Amino acid sequence: MGLKELFFGRKKTSGDYAKDRLKLLLVSDRANCSPDVMEQIKNEIIEVISKYVEIDASGLDIQITQTESEGGHGTVPAIYANIPIKELKSNNAKK
């Protein structure tokens, strides 16, 4: 662990975990977005993307989170999706 800390910087403290968990939790609380709805969004995204590329559905991660707004007006909610691609089906579709 010591070596890892040396190379990758400070180890995440329990306070950092608390803050990260809360940020995600509050965005979904505020959006009033239930786990069912999230699951539905996730399934439909898989369906659409699968038409074009082969994706690793088990590795798909989708969250409602916050991001800096482009206009610089603080943070705005955003849907963040990390979709691992297994193979591109056509040459037109680029990552």
Strands (E), the chain: 53-55, 61-68, 75-82, 85-88
Considering only residues 5 through 44, tell me which ones interact with another protein, judged by CB under 8 A. 13-16, 18-19, 21-23, 25-26, 29-30
Q: Which is nearer to another protein, 13 or 90 (CB)?
A: 13
Q: At closest approach, how far in Å is the CB of 3 from another protein?
A: 20
Nearer to another protein, 14 or 91 (CB): 14
Please tell me whether residue 68 binds another protein under the rule CB under 8 A: no
The span from the CA of 26 to the CA of 49, in Å, is 28
For residues 24 and 57, give the distance between their C-alpha atoms in angstroms, rounded to a whole number.
Answer: 22
At residue 75, φ and ψ (nearest 5 deg) are: -95, 150
Beta-bridge mates of residue 68: 75
Residue 72 binds another protein (CB under 8 A) = no
The residue ranges that bind another protein (CB under 8 A) are 13-16, 18-19, 21-23, 25-26, 29-30
